[in-house]
Amino acid sequence: MPSPGRPKIDNPKKLKIGFRVSEEEREKLDVYCEKKKLTQSQVLSEALELLYKKKP
């Protein structure tokens, strides 16, 4: 009998980080997230991918 719940994913996100931002940076992030319908985590992940492609 299969176990209930969500299926396992290949690369689970277990780690939680925090960092400080200015009020202006927070507002920019909030506006961007709202506009693009993304979470802050999704925006950070996409930004990191772009940085790695630009500067390996």
- The residue with tokens 């999704």 is 42
Q: Is residue 50 part of a domain?
A: yes
What is the pLDDT, as a whole number, of residue 11? 83
Q: Is residue 38 part of a domain?
A: yes
Helix (H) or strand (E) run with residue 35 in it = helix 23-36
* pTM assigned to the model: 0.73
Structural domains of the chain, count: 1
Q: How far apart are CA 52 and CA 43, in angstroms?
A: 14
Q: Is residue 42 part of a domain?
A: yes
Q: 52 to each of 11, 23, 34, how far by Cα in Å?
A: 19, 26, 25
Q: Is residue 29 part of a domain?
A: yes
What is the pLDDT, as a whole number, of residue 13? 83
What are the pLDDT tens digits along the chain (56 aa)? 667 888 888 888 889 999 999 999 999 999 999 999 999 999 999 999 999 998 76
Q: Is residue 49 part of a domain?
A: yes
* DSSP state at residue 8: P
State both tokens at 40: 């802050």
State both tokens at 7: 């299926």
Structural domain including 32 reads: 23-54
Q: Is residue 2 part of a domain?
A: no
What is the pLDDT, as a whole number, of residue 1? 66
